A = this chain, B = another copy of it.
Amino acid sequence: MEFTAQQIADLLHGSVEGDPQVKVNRLSKIEEGEPGSLTFLANPKYEEFIYSTNASLVIVDEQFVPEREVKANLIKVKDPYKSFAVLLDTYNKISMSKEGLENPHTIADSAQIGENTYIGAFVYIGENSVIGNRVKLFPGVYIGDNVTIGDDTFLFPGVKVYSDCVIGNDCRIHAGVVIGGDGFGFAPQDDSNYLKVAQIGNVIIEDHVEIGSNTAIDRATLGSTIIRKGVKLDNLIQVAHNVEIGEHTVIAAQTGIAGSTKIGRFCMIGGQVGIVGHLVIADKVKIAAQSGIGTSITKEGEIVQGSPAFFIGDYKKSYIGFRKLPELNARIEELERIIKELQNK
């Protein structure tokens, strides 16, 4: 995709200073600008870079007056940051504009496919599944039987959705994600073997959810594992059977949540956190990275750290103590020595 400075200025309601015919074909940071790239100057901290950048085109504030010579061509706009966001979004929309049906694919006769969808090669859609309008199923996506996918949702390459699961509108599910694998349920038998407990529930993912690459969300034993609307999950996260994650909660990469735990709304959970099963986590709770949560957190907005985790301020104090343990030990030895002396007086 290639655009002239003038085309971009028109899109942003700005004006060109320099060559309106100069062409750009990608976006860059101002400090990494190269010929052919378009960038922006919003933060005055970065102003120095405008005199050295090799970018062909820079979006600047309409008030901007250069102090020295600027090689790059400029587009002057009211709000450079916002304008760049508009460009990002436009760029993204164009690059995500695929539509139509690629071959080969395997779609059950009983499946219903919405309008203006993109169905890539090697996509599989099972019996009775319903795919909404403007949905994009990238190559290699697997949709089992009786699955429902809402409008405007994108499933990137190789996403697998087991039977009976439900995905809402406007979701982004990244490559390699598995939705609806069996929960990890085994009943110990008398002979120390394990009997698999059938996992016949499903996964429900509400609207506006984003899920990162290779994350795994297990189906419920009975009922549903539920990801509420607006939840953002990073890559390589484990969500076990019958978990519920509340609205607009954000979870960083490689965190794991064990079975039947219920996470509140607007929580922020760091990376590599582990949460054991059958807990309840209140709304707006924040959990530091690598923490282990072994008991329910009932206080809204609580902030915790550690494994097992407790109030983050106390954890930080304890950890300072941990670092000073050899010194602490030396102080105790000194006390013991003095006391021995005092006793022997």
Contacts and interface: CB of A to CB of B under 8 A. Distances in A.
Interface of A: 27-29, 32, 85, 88-89, 91-92, 95, 102-104, 106, 120-122, 124, 138-140, 142, 144-145, 156-158, 160, 162-163, 172, 174-176, 178, 181-182, 184, 186, 192-194, 196-198, 200, 208, 210, 212-214, 216, 218, 222-223, 230, 232, 234-236, 238, 240, 248, 250, 252-254, 256, 258, 266, 271-272, 274, 276, 289-290, 292, 307-308, 310, 314, 317-326, 328-329, 331-332, 335-336, 338-339, 342-343
Cβ-closest 6 pairs across A and B: A321-B325, A106-B121, A88-B198, A213-B216, A178-B213, A181-B213
A175 B181 contact: yes
A325 B103 CA distance: 65
Given A106-B103, A160-B158, A274-B290, A323 B314 contact: yes
A324 to B, nearest CB: 8
B238 A271 contact: yes
Contact of A274 (B120, B139, B230, B272): B272
26 contacts: A27-B222, A28-B222, A92-B200, A106-B122, A142-B157, A142-B158, A156-B160, A158-B158, A158-B176, A176-B214, A182-B212, A184-B232, A186-B250, A193-B230, A194-B230, A253-B256, A289-B292, A290-B290, A290-B307, A308-B319, A314-B326, A318-B322, A318-B323, A321-B329, A328-B332, A331-B336
Given A198-B89, A321-B328, A332-B328, A248 B213 contact: no
Q: Which of A175, A276, A307, A318 is the most central at the interface, judged by chain B CB atoms within 10 Å of its CB?
A: A175
B157 A184 contact: no
B238 A236 contact: yes
Contacts of A248: 192-194
A157 B160 contact: yes
A322 B322 contact: yes
Contacts of A106: 102-104, 121-122, 139
Contacts of A292: 272, 289-290
- Count of chain copies: 3
Q: Which of A29, A120, A178, A192 is the most central at the interface, judged by chain B CB atoms within 10 Å of its CB?
A: A178
A322 B29 CA distance: 45
A27 B32 CA distance: 51
B271 A271 contact: no
B122 A140 contact: yes
A89 B162 CA distance: 18
B310 A323 contact: yes
Contacts of A92: 198, 200
A182 B232 CA distance: 12
A138 to B, nearest CB: 7
Given A232-B186, A322-B318, A124 B121 contact: yes
Contacts of A142: 138-140, 157-158, 175
A260 to B, nearest CB: 11
A256 B272 CA distance: 8
B218 A235 contact: yes
A324 B182 CA distance: 42
A212 B182 CA distance: 8
